[in-house]
Amino acid sequence: MQKEHQGSGTRMCATYAKLFKAHVLDVHVPNVLVGISSSIEVPLVVILGRRIGASFSAIADYVTVAPMCRVLLDIPFGIVIEYVGVQNVMIFCLLLNVIASVIGLSVSNSASLFIFCVLSGSSLGGFFLARHIFVAGITSKKYRGLLMAILAGLLRWSHVIGPVASGLFAVHSGDIRYSFVLSAASSGMALMSLSFAMWSTRQKQVCEQSCPTSAVSSVDATPLCSAQGGDPLNVVQHYPVGAVRDNVCAGTLLLPQATASSMTRIGGTLNGSDTAHHGVIVGAETSVIVPPPHIEGFHNGYAKDDVRTQSGRSCEVHTCAKAKQGHYFHLETLWGTLVDYWSVIWRLGMYHVLLTALRGNRKLLITFAGMRASMTDAQVSYLLGFSFIFDAILFPLGGLVMDQCGRQFAMIPVAVGLGTVYMFLPLCTTKQQLLMVSSAFGIVDALGCGLIMTLTADRAPLRYGAPYFGVMRMVQDIGHAAGARGVSSLIHYAGFNVCCWILAAIGFFTAAWGFYGVPRETDTLPKTSRLDQAASVAREGCLCKLSFGSRGSEETALLKTASLSTTTPTMTYGTVALPPPLG
């Protein structure tokens, strides 16, 4: 038994290592670098707001602008990701963040500060949404908790580096404004890292070798549609075309470039032996196009647009998400996602909003507390960096609690802890006391490291995952916006102390809601009848357009026959229905 346990632990560590290795340059390095830019956003807005003569409540209004932009753009970003892929969106957002940093360097009045907040909030929101979708698609439920915690832990390290580096800029340059150079440089390096990963042949080879291997060890533990609350994004073995597993084949094909390109050829065929031994990772956002079986006398030129789409990505698509992939996403499918998943969205979203408000206002209120204690700009930056050191060191705690004790239990300690720390924050008026409360914030927040990302990914739908992630990210960002807006109003009308005590009460309520209100892990995913219908209507619309452009009625009939025999009514996200075996 002990040897089996050690062997299981070794395989798990190998899985984490290979998933990490395969996506260092396109996920983890940009994640850390963009986190540095994100970590100095709130302190810089507060400090620059004070320089232009804004009041505390007005500064909080400026801080609210960034999360409000994220709320408004999360769903549009999710739709765009469905079309162009995560990496194209990540590149656009990195460029936008560089522009925002350049504008921030020249902030001199309220208008320029407002423009910086808009661009910074939009770029960071889009980047982190795309990153979340990508990472959720390459992890199974068995490993997701700790892996998400590792991702969030690296982000915590960037929150340590960012404020400390910002403080160094303030000391040596004499002006905190030059911290925007750090923000622009970190975003630029993230852009170079992501671009290199997209176009490097060596990186594609590493991904091809590592991703399939990392998928194997979780196949048996997390089967599709398992009785233990099967995960829609589980990692499973690929079944070749013609093999039936509940008439469903879940997964992402990880194929060499040559194999992937041969699959997209017009009139080509898919050889099951070529793909039988490839691991699959469910949930990636782009598509591998599998042509329908060849029909005698059927013109191949019409097979291009009517294909059976398997949500996934080859090694080529995995590193360079291409635009204009064939799919049946329309705005009606977004409405279907909202309606079918409404129970999950509002129940889980309530917890996201409350916890995000508690965690998001941590930086703002620590900054205000430091200013109340007459700390300098550099000291406030060091105080924030000291707080995030504990997050960065203890981040595995959150993943271990989620994977070992369950998601439902993991939601309680972080909320109770944050409520308790907020209760004592108004009583801390010296530098030593503020250091203690900052460390307490870091320890408590480490217990929830990666929690929100994991809860969202665990309940993702089987199809059109990107819009769902956009909806949930919007709900989460409502917590940022509502929290900052609420803090602004409370400080203006009731004062700093009352604001902290109200947040303490919210923390205790959040813990109770997490245990009793959030859907449990054993609950089945909601049925997606409206989403299926919307996708079917969108598909029929594509068929009508295709039929209109066909050269003859006989070819049109053959096209519809081929489509009905090889295409399900829906384009799926991580799951594709298989046609009946031929013969």
Domain range for residue 90? Answer: 23-202+330-517
In a domain, 118, yes or no: yes
Q: Is 165 contained in some domain?
A: yes
DSSP 166-212: HHHHHHHHS-GGGHHHHHHHHHHHHHHHHHHHHH-HHHHHHHHHHHH
Question: pLDDT value at position 94?
Answer: 94
Question: Which positions ≥6 away from 84 have C-beta within 8 Å?
Answer: 321, 323
Give the span between the Cα atoms of 323 and 61, in whole angstroms: 37
Q: Looking at the domain assignment, is residue 312 inside a domain?
A: no
Cα 315 from chain centre:
21
3-state secondary structure of 251: coil
- What is the CA angle 538-288-210, rounded to 5? 140
pLDDT score recorded for residue 437: 92
Report if residue 374 sits inside a domain. Answer: yes
pLDDT of residue 255: 34
How many Å apart are CA 222 and CA 197, to the nearest integer? 30
- What is the value of pTM for the model shown? 0.66
Cα 505 from Cα 495, distance rounded (Å): 16
Does residue 189 fall inside a structural domain?
A: yes
Look at residue 13 in the predicted model and tell me its pLDDT.
65
What residues does 311 pair with on adjacent strands? 287
For the chain, residues with pLDDT lower than 50 are 213-326, 550-583
Look at phi and psi of residue 253 and say left if phi exceeds 0, alpha if psi is from -120 to 50, else beta: beta
Number of domains within the chain? 1
How much is the pLDDT for 486?
A: 87
Burial of 168 (0-12, 13-18, 19+ CB in 10 A): middle
Residue 72 located in a structural domain: yes
Closest-CA residue to 124 (of 145, 86, 85, 96): 96
- Considering the domain boundaries, does residue 571 fall inside one? no
Quote helix, strand, coil % in the chain, to nearest 5: 70, 5, 25
Q: Tell me whether residue 535 is in a domain.
A: no
Q: What is the CATH number of the domain that holds 507?
A: 1.20.1250.20
